[in-house]
Structures are given as structure tokens and as C-alpha cells.
Structure 1
């Protein structure tokens, strides 16, 4: 049973089967949000998504980055990502029309950022998530 169903801009419905949310800067004890820190955070998220959902391709929805007018420290200007980090495992019908619908499904793990902690549903999701090119990024698996 899915947590939610999201309808992509292409019209394809995808089911959210697992969702992991966390504070983007939770646990930041030293320093400040900057490009090197954000890039390392994103790389870590992608690696952990690959480990958490083996065999599924992982896609990053490129996050918006804000540059508030604050003092630039030793690591460059302040760069802020949205407050909530999301890693979701999605499933949908098979990509290959010749595959038996009862025996195959497509899947994709998606990493994205959003400003608040809400579960995407229907057409209510971040634009980047709704614009995921499922047919190009997902892969079929036999059940």
C-alpha cells in the first residue's frame, strides 16, 4: 500500500512507497551553510539513497539555492538549501509495454528538497518532483 500517489506533469501516476525526511541543516554544529557543505550533504544523500534502495536508480532534483546578504566566511558566501531533505522510493506501472503488468513495475528513488515537511500527494508536490522524467530515469523490475 502506497503512502501517497503523485501525478507527474507527464500525467503518469507514481506511488510513494517509502519517504525519509530530515532537516537539511539538522546537526550542523559548526560553520554555516555554504556551497562546499551543501555539495557534501547532497553527495552523502545520494550515496545513502543508493544503499537504502539497492537496485533502483537514484535521481536528484536539483535544489534551489539562496544567497542571503550575509557575511561570507572562509568557505565562501552563505548558500542556503530548502529546510527539508526528502528521499523517496517511487513505483509505477512498467515502462515496457510488452511487459506483463502483473509481473513488472518501474521504480525510481528520488532525492529532493522542500521548504516544509509535507508528504507530496496528487499534484501537490514541488515542481522539480512533478517534472521528473520517469520514462528516462526509472527502471523496470520483475516482481
Structure 2
């Protein structure tokens, strides 16, 4: 039984079965967020997602990147900020392939996204980027 359900923009309902929330910049003790740091954080989240659930594809919802215009630039370049909460969720839904029996098959996808609050996504109120995932392309069917 899923923790919650999210309704994608396509109308497909996906069930969230596992959720991991973390601070986007947890452990950053000094300096400022910048593109290289953010790209590394995203890469690490995708690698972790693939390692935890190796039989399920991992998909990134491209995060919004803010560039405050305060004139600060450190040795790694200008400030670039991602939303404060990094999310990794395992979602399941009905099969993608119409040839697969919906009683015996499901589709799954691990999704990495960023959001402003630590609230679990739900229904039509989920993060817009998450709701716009084109499920049929990256998701993979499996047999129960």
C-alpha cells in the first residue's frame, strides 16, 4: 500500500512507496552553493537512488536554480541555489506496456527532485516538476 498518491499532469496516478528527504546543503560548513557543488549533489543523489533500488530506473526532475544577484562570487563562481529539500522517492503505477496484464504487472520509477518544504507529495498538490514527469518514457514494467 502506498504512502501517498500523486496525480501526474498526464492523469496517471502513481503511488509513493518509499521516500527519503534530506537537506540539499546539509554538511556544507563554509563557502556558498555554486554550480559545481550542485551538479555533484545531483549526481550523488542519482547514484544513491540507483544503488538502493538497482532494478528500477532513476530519473531526475531538473531542479530550478536560483542565481541571487548580490555580486558575490567565490573561487568556484557565482552563487547558485537549489531548493532546500532533496527528495528521492520510489513510485509504482499500472504497467506502461499495454501488452502487460495490469493484474500481474506494475511499473516503477525512482525519482529524484527538489522542493521547498519537507512535506511528502500528494495528489494534485505535489511539486509541479514532479507532476510533469512523463512516466511512460523512463518507467519500467515488472512482474509481480
What TM bracket, shorter-length normalisation? over 0.9
Aligned-partner Cα distance in 1 for 2:11–2:67: 34
Q: Deviation per CA, 1:74-123, whole angstroms, max 9, x where unpaired?
A: 00000000000000000000112221222110000000000111111110
Determine helix, strand or coil for the equivalent of 2:74.
coil
Kindly tell me the number of residue pairs found equivalent between the two proteins.
143
Distance across 1 between alignment mates of 2:42 and 2:96 = 28
Any gaps of 5 or more consecutive residues in structure 1? none
Counterpart of 2:95 in structure 1 is: 94
Listed as ranges, the gaps of 5+ residues in structure 2 are none
Query: SS at 2:129's partner residue?
Result: helix
Report the counterpart of residue 58 of structure 1 in structure 2.
Answer: 58
Aligned mates of 2:81, 2:60 — CA distance in 1: 17
State the Cα deviation string for residues 12-59 of structure 1 (Å, max 9, x = none): 000000000001001112321000100000000000000011111111
Residues 116-135 of structure 1, C-alpha deviations (whole Å, 9 max, x = no match): 11111110111110000001
TM-score, normalized by length of structure 1?
0.97
Q: CA RMSD in A?
A: 0.8
